[in-house]
């Protein structure tokens, strides 16, 4: 028995429905109940990126255009739908969930959702935030609810650039306070994510290394990827991981320490003088790490993205709202996972960027 899932291709106006049948390259739906999420290249999914909302109080220039329109609330998954989906994923081997957005701290029932996710059997719950909303008391409550770790995104330490990049009324000082508060309440290891863009903020690499040493945290430097809906990305704006490390090395001696886990996206470096803190580089463009990928993404409106650069999206919302059983949801997740591509296509001639902003995809 087979059934069809709508496959939404972002660069087209309407979804395309494909029927997947047994016997082909992909796993046939209905052959047997899946016991794990494994793609056609043998990679097992253990990590789920779950976007809680596409809304954000920032409008970062590399993420969204000023006139972006957020999705209607009715189009977003409810807490109950997200929780059910996570429970099914846990039953298929997912162990870690990262909450993303948009800005996840804008989600009105964040504490309750984290508590429910913990009770659903998730072993590790992390969250990525822009650090402009939650107070120290908020972070303490989030920690008590069950959040293990926090990542904070900040792309510059200069107030004028921050205003220009984020197009917000927040400040560098506010985000740095969140980093300090997160360390204080024990949301460790605290990680800071920085998208490095040539001619934009790459002259701050040494200062960002100083930030890692100041707080004893991980600062993760991310190569600029073609995920902007305005399609302004060009290869000449990419500062490669090797160049980042070479430039930081002019100020601080670094010692390579590798990856935390085989599936971790960042390659880590410690400071040669023993100062606490680390530098991580995520080389999505120059040195893709797709072969060890263990991640699956679910957008705030219920689309499964097997890869951050997927052109196909598998819509689970009709199943969640149409009376589908958990078994059928598991089949749908297994089928989406089976379609996971071998690697990113960023530098190939036939790559085309997503037509919607990163806030609608989830980090």
Express each pLDDT in 118-136 by its tens digit.
999 999 999 999 999 999 9
Looking at domain 44-361, its CATH architecture is: Alpha-Beta Barrel (3.20)
- From residue 258, alpha-carbon distances to 209, 281, 284, 299 in Å are 17, 10, 16, 30
Residue 264 is predicted with a pLDDT of 78
Residue 222 is predicted with a pLDDT of 94
12 pLDDT more than 80: no
For 127-253, where are the alpha helices, taking DSSP H only?
A: 136-145, 159-166, 172-185, 205-215, 241-248
Residue 35 is predicted with a pLDDT of 86
225 pLDDT more than 80: yes
> Nearest 10 degrees: CA dihedral of 167, 173, 174, 179?
120
pLDDT tens-digit readout, 51-91: 999 999 998 877 777 777 889 999 999 999 999 999 999 99
23 pLDDT more than 50: no
Q: What's the mean pLDDT when you consider all of the chain?
A: 86
Residue 356 is predicted with a pLDDT of 56
Contact 51, 297 (CB under 8 A): yes
pLDDT tens-digit readout, 244-275: 999 999 999 999 998 887 777 889 999 999 99
- From residue 203, alpha-carbon distances to 173, 199, 244, 259 in Å are 19, 8, 10, 26
Residue 227 is predicted with a pLDDT of 66
**Confidence category of residue 174, pLDDT binned at 50, 70, 90:** very high
pLDDT tens-digit readout, 280-296: 999 988 887 777 789 99
The residue with greater pLDDT, 75 or 9, is 75
- Residue-range domain boundaries for the chain: 44-361
Residue 351 is predicted with a pLDDT of 53
**Confidence category of residue 110, pLDDT binned at 50, 70, 90:** very high
The beta strands (E) that lie in the chain are given as 4-8, 16-19, 47-51, 96-100, 124-129, 149-153, 191-196, 218-223, 254-258, 267-271, 278-282, 295-298, 303-305, 313-315
29 pLDDT more than 50: no
Average pLDDT over residues 9-18: 37
Separation CA 106–CA 73 (nearest Å): 13
pTM equals 0.87
Q: Which of 91-95, 178-182, 202-206, 303-307 has the lowest mean pLDDT?
A: 303-307
Residue 357 is predicted with a pLDDT of 56
Q: What angle do CA 12, 14, 20 make, to 5 degrees?
A: 95
Q: What kind and span of H or E run contains 170? A: none
Average pLDDT over residues 198-203: 95
**Confidence category of residue 230, pLDDT binned at 50, 70, 90:** low
pLDDT tens-digit readout, 346-361: 555 455 555 555 556 7
**Confidence category of residue 229, pLDDT binned at 50, 70, 90:** low
Q: Which of 1-5, 251-255, 262-266, 316-320 has the lowest mean pLDDT?
A: 1-5
């Amino acid at each position: 028995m087979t059934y069809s899932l709508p496959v939404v291709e972002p660069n087209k106006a309407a979804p395309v429905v494909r029927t997947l049948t047994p016997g082909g390259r992909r796993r046939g739906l209905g052959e047997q109940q899946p016991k794990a999420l494994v793609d056609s290249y043998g990679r097992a999914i253990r990590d789920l990126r779950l976007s809680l909302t596409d809304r954000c109080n920032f409008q970062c220039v590399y993420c969204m255009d000023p006139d972006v329109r957020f999705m209607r609330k009715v189009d977003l998954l409810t807490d109950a739908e997200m929780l059910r989906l996570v429970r099914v994923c846990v039953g298929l081997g997912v162990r870690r969930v990262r909450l993303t957005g948009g800005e996840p701290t804008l989600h009105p029932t964040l504490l309750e959702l984290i508590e429910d996710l913990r009770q659903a059997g998730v072993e590790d719950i992390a969250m990525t935030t822009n650090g402009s909303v939650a107070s120290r008391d908020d972070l303490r409550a989030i920690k008590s609810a069950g959040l293990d770790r926090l990542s904070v995104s900040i792309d510059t330490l200069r107030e004028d650039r921050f205003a220009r990049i984020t197009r917000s009324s927040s400040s560098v000082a506010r985000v740095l306070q969140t980093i300090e508060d997160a360390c204080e309440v024990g949301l460790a290891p605290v990680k800071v994510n920085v998208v490095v863009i040539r001619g934009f903020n790459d002259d701050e690499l040494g200062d960002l290394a100083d930030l890692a040493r100041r707080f004893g945290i991980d600062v993760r430097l991310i190569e600029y990827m073609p995920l902007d809906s305005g399609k302004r990305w060009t290869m000449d704006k990419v500062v490669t991981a090797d160049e980042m490390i070479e430039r930081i090395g002019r100020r601080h001696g670094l010692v390579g320490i590798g990856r935390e886990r085989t599936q971790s996206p960042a390659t880590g470096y410690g400071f040669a003088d023993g100062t606490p803190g680390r530098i991580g580089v995520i080389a999505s463009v120059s040195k893709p790490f797709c072969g060890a990928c263990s991640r699956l993404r679910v957008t705030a409106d219920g689309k499964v993205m097997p890869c951050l650069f997927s052109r196909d999206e598998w819509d689970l919302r009709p199943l969640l709202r149409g009376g589908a059983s958990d078994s059928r949801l598991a089949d749908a997740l297994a089928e989406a996972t089976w379609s996971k591509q071998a690697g990113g296509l960023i530098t190939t001639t036939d790559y085309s960027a997503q037509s919607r902003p990163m806030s609608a995809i989830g980090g």
